[in-house]
Amino acid sequence: MTGADHEHSEIVVLAAQWYSEQKQPPQPVVPELRKRFPLSAREACEALALANRYRILRRAHG
């Protein structure tokens, strides 16, 4: 799975949505995501990358 064909699990998407909506994101991030959602460390990192994409798209498209 690479590039555009990569699909994220539902829980990764939910974690990304939650994180992207935080005005002041918690620190450290990965442990916080793992506490709130049943994620592996890798899935938490995927959620962070996806959250960043959500933020960029939100800024670009309002």
b/e burial code for range 11-50 (CB count within 10 A of at least 16 → b): ebbebbeebbeeeeeeeebeebbbeebebeeebbebbbeb
Task: Indicate the burial class of 51 (C-beta count within 10 angstroms; 0-12, 13-18, 19 or more).
Answer: buried
pLDDT digits (tens, 9 = 90+) for 45-61: 999 999 999 999 988 88
What pTM value is reported for the model? 0.83
Please list, in sequence order, all residues whose beta carbon lies within 8 angstroms of the beta carbon of residue 39, skipping any fewer than 6 positions away: 11, 12, 15, 33, 47
pLDDT digits (tens, 9 = 90+) for 11-37: 999 999 999 999 999 999 999 999 999
